[in-house]
Amino acid sequence: MKLSVYGFIVSIFFSIFSNAQEVPLEEVIRMGIQKNFDVRILQKTGEAAANDNRFAFGAFLPQLNANGAYIKTTNASRNVTFADVETIREGAKSTNTQGQVQLLWTLFDGTKMFATRKRIGELAALGEINVRNQLINSTAAIIINYYNIIRQKQQLKAIRELMKVSEERVKLAEKKLQVGTGGKPELLQAKVDLNAQRTAILSQETVIQQLKDQLNGLVGMDLPEVYDVADTIPINLFLTKEEVLTDIDKTNQTIVAARKNIDVAQLVVRENRALRSPIFNFTSAYNYNQTENELATTPVAQKFTRNQGLNYGLTVSIPIINFLNVNRTIAASKINLERQKIVYDQQLMIAVVGVRNAYINYDNAKKTLLINEENIILAKENVYIALEGFKRGITTALDLRTAQQSLADAYNLLIAARYNAKVSETELLRLKGALLN
């Protein structure tokens, strides 16, 4: 009765998930490219750098500013001369109108403006590299999570297959106990093993659902609430270490970004060196000033005055002593340049070591996979023989349980080998920078 109830629950579970929509890996990756939060954050950072680059040509344009003022004044005055002549004026009003248009155009600043313009362009390019690098890393995380779900599904399938053997053991043990050819401990042990597998199934289903939720989080919760993934893990068995390492300094996005940082640091040095150069500016201004007085506050006060005119010319600014600030900034930028070169060498070394380690794992996983694919056939045949022998009384319950455990171990090793080979393959492609291809 208990077995039938459990079978009913499992059948209900299967009916729910059998109707779940299967989402292919390519579709999940597409969602991740569009909705992954890490990618979207870096895309906005890259857009900010691209926006700066769009307006960087402004470094070559003149500055043009206009100023104006309109001021009304009301004064009260009292004047007494040495001849004791007193003059009192109340409500003396005046109006002052001012206007100025000023132009400043830097003609030469030691080529600093050219270096600045190019540096902003390099920062925009660096933003694109960082976005692509994040796309690759997020895609790798999606692939590994996706195939981990498949791995756990295969593990669940293996447990269910083993549980069928345990159910058969329980039935046979009950029959033997009824006819007097078997003992109760044998039946109890068979039921304990069956219950352990039931518990393992529940735990495995929990793991699968948690991994599905994690995958959904990687794509911005864009997947359906109930969905399924594929059943197999395809593996490229023909990758070579030499193929991955070829031109890795041009394809690994972390290395490319490190090299771009060197370019940016070189331009910062160039900008700081330009601070030693004289700066030549073209300057021009148009000035307008008008004053109207309604009442004479003094004998020489003007009732109306207006001044207007245009001036233009060249100015030069020559740095002579600035407390060695230019030398300090140049030295600091050179230190940063050397630091970026070290970071580049470090990232190149990390990538090469990563490829070598990943390839060792990949090669070992391939060899292990071939061995375990042969081993699973042997283990299945061994369980079949042990079960048939147990039915005929030739094989003991302990022999059957040992064969069953060997099959469980063979499944674990085979499924792990498949997954590890895929993880290593994904890591090799990530380090190569070819994962999106």
**Residues 348-399: tens digit of each pLDDT:** 999 999 999 999 999 999 999 999 999 999 999 999 999 889 888 888 888 8
Both 78 and 178 in one domain: the answer is no
Q: Is 45 among the domain residues?
A: no
Q: What is the pLDDT of residues 228-277, one digit of tens each?
A: 999 999 999 999 999 999 999 999 999 999 999 999 999 999 999 999 99
d(CA 156, CA 17): 14
Contacts of 4 (CB under 8 A, 6+ apart): none
- Model confidence at 90, pLDDT cuts 50, 70, 90, reads confident
Measured CA to CA, the distance from residue 306 to residue 291 in angstroms comes to: 6
Which residue among 259, 291, 318 closes a domain? 318
Predicted confidence (pLDDT) at residue 132 exceeds the cutoff of 60 = yes
Higher per-residue confidence, 139 vs 320:
139
- Average pLDDT of the chain to the nearest whole number: 89
Q: Answer for the pair 42, 131: CB distance below 8 angstroms, yes or no.
A: yes
What would the mean pLDDT of 181-209 be, rounded to a whole number? Answer: 91
The domain total for the chain is: 2
Residues in Cβ contact with 148 at an 8 Å cutoff, skipping those fewer than 6 apart: 211, 419
Residues 289 and 372 in one domain: no
274, 109 Cβ separation under 8 angstroms: yes
| 3-state secondary structure labels for all residues of the chain | CHHHHHHHHHHHHHHHHHCCEECCHHHHHHHHHHHCHHHHHHHHHHHHHHHHHHCHHHHHCCEEEEEEEEEEEEEEEEEECCCCCEEEEEEEEEEEEEEEEEEEEEEECCCHHHHHHHHHHHHHHHHHHHHHHHHHHHHHHHHHHHHHHHHHHHHHHHHHHHHHHHHHHHHHHHHHHHHCCCCHHHHHHHHHHHHHHHHHHHHHHHHHHHHHHHHHHHCCCCCCCCEECCCCCCCCCCCCHHHHHCCHHHHCHHHHHHHHHHHHHHHHHHHHHHHHCCEEEEEEEEEEEEEEECCCCCCCCCCEEEEEEEEEEEEEECCCCCCCHHHHHHHHHHHHHHHHHHHHHHHHHHHHHHHHHHHHHHHHHHHHHHHHHHHHHHHHHHHHHHHHHHHHCCCCHHHHHHHHHHHHHHHHHHHHHHHHHHHHHHHHHHHHCCCCC
- Do 399 and 298 lie in one domain? The reply is no
Q: Domain residues for 193?
A: 2-35+109-277+322-432
Residues 285 and 351 occupy one common structural domain:
no
Do the strands 279-293 and 86-108 form a parallel or antiparallel pair, or are they unpaired? antiparallel
Q: What is the pTM of this model?
A: 0.82
**Domain shared by 273 and 285, yes or no:** no
* Residue at 27 is within a domain: yes
CATH classification at residue 253: 1.20.1600.10
Pair 269, 302 in one domain: no
Cα gap 44→48, rounded to integer Å? 6
Sorting pLDDT into bands at 50, 70 and 90, what band is 204? very high
Q: Assign residue 99 the CATH number of its domain.
A: 2.20.200
Are 242 and 155 found together in one domain?
yes
Same domain flag for 73 and 124:
no
Same domain assignment for residues 308 and 327? no
Look at residue 47 and tell me if it is in a domain. no
Whether residue 300 sits in one domain with residue 197: no
Q: How confident is the model at residue 184 (pLDDT cuts 50, 70, 90)?
A: confident
**292 and 402 belong to one structural domain:** no
Q: Are the beta carbons of 228 and 17 closer than 8 angstroms?
A: yes
Pair 165, 218 in one domain = yes
